[in-house]
Amino acid sequence: MVAKAFLEGHRLTLCVEAVEDEEIAATIREAYFQEEDGRFVKRFSGQYPECSRILRNFPRLAEDMFTNRGKTWAMALIHFARVCQSHGIEWYLTGSGCEAVRGMPLLPHDLDIFVRSDQFYQARDLFADAIVEPFLDLGDSWATRYFGRLCLDGEQIDLVADERNDKDRHPYIKESWNGYELFCEPVKPRLEVEKRRNRPDRIAMIETYLRRQNGETLR
């Protein structure tokens, strides 16, 4: 695998070539890269202030990001939590990472993390050496307002922000994990997500967890 990042006029191009493993290719597709002439490509405006960082970061980090698939999630999450705690960043864990920190038997393929909406760009700057895609203001065109991507300790982290998901407007459950207090998506909404996605293994896993929590189904 060869990962490249370069400017074409006013466009930033991320490119991954020589991908011989179909499972890795599927992972790259899931990250919304498009196949063009045997390579995977993603393009952005080259005007984002973090582009110079991405030109350095993506070629050195992309291979780990696409091949690890959850192997380093705990190390990456500890690193993220430590930096955020040191700088007063408020953040909330969503996606399958919530199941992982609750001890359920899975490896999250990436980490989905919301940060408080007014701290999105502060978080970007704190993790400058891990930025692999621009930090975007999507306006009202997407389900969330802000989106950026990191590769931290080999793990893909999708960093998201939206006022509707700030803690004072969205319910989270506090969980203790590795010495940190984490705000996580509640279990029941996570179960509903897996039901909509028709993932029987995930559904069974979460339902087993709920039964072990003395039948609690409302968290």
What is the tens place of the pLDDT at every residue in 122-136? 999 999 999 999 999
Let me know how many helices (H) and strands (E) the chain has, helices first: 7, 11
pLDDT tier at 217, thresholds 50, 70, 90: very low
pLDDT of residue 70: 85
pLDDT of residue 219: 47
* Most confident by average pLDDT, 99-113, 132-146, 205-219: 99-113
CA atoms within 13 A on the CB side of 24: 18
Alpha helical stretches, state H, 41-128: 51-68, 73-87, 97-101, 120-126
Alpha-carbon distance of 12 to 85, in angstroms, equals: 32
Q: Which residues of 19-47 are buried (b: 16+ CB within 10 A; e: fewer)?
A: beeeebbebbeebebeeeeebbebeeebe
pLDDT of residue 180: 95
What are residue 126's phi and psi, to 5 degrees?
Answer: -70, -30
pLDDT of residue 214: 65
Q: Is CATH 3.30.460 what the domain over 2-185 is classified as, yes or no?
A: yes
Through-space distance between the first and last CA atoms of the chain, rounded to whole angstroms: 43
pLDDT tens digits, residue range 5-36?
999 889 999 999 999 999 999 999 999 999 99
Write out the two tokens for 37. 């002439």
Q: Where are the domains of the chain?
A: 2-185
pLDDT tens digits, residue range 139-194?
877 788 999 999 999 999 999 999 999 999 999 999 999 999 999 999 999 999 99
- CB atoms under 10 Å from CB of 170, counted, come to 15
Burial of 169 by CB count in 10 Å (0-12 exposed, 13-18 middle, 19+ buried)? exposed
As a whole number, mean pLDDT of residues 194-210 equals 94
Let me know: does 152 contact 108? Beta carbons within 8 Å.
Answer: no
Alpha-carbon distance of 120 to 116, in angstroms, equals: 6
Alpha-carbon distance of 111 to 96, in angstroms, equals: 7
As a whole number, mean pLDDT of residues 68-91 equals 96
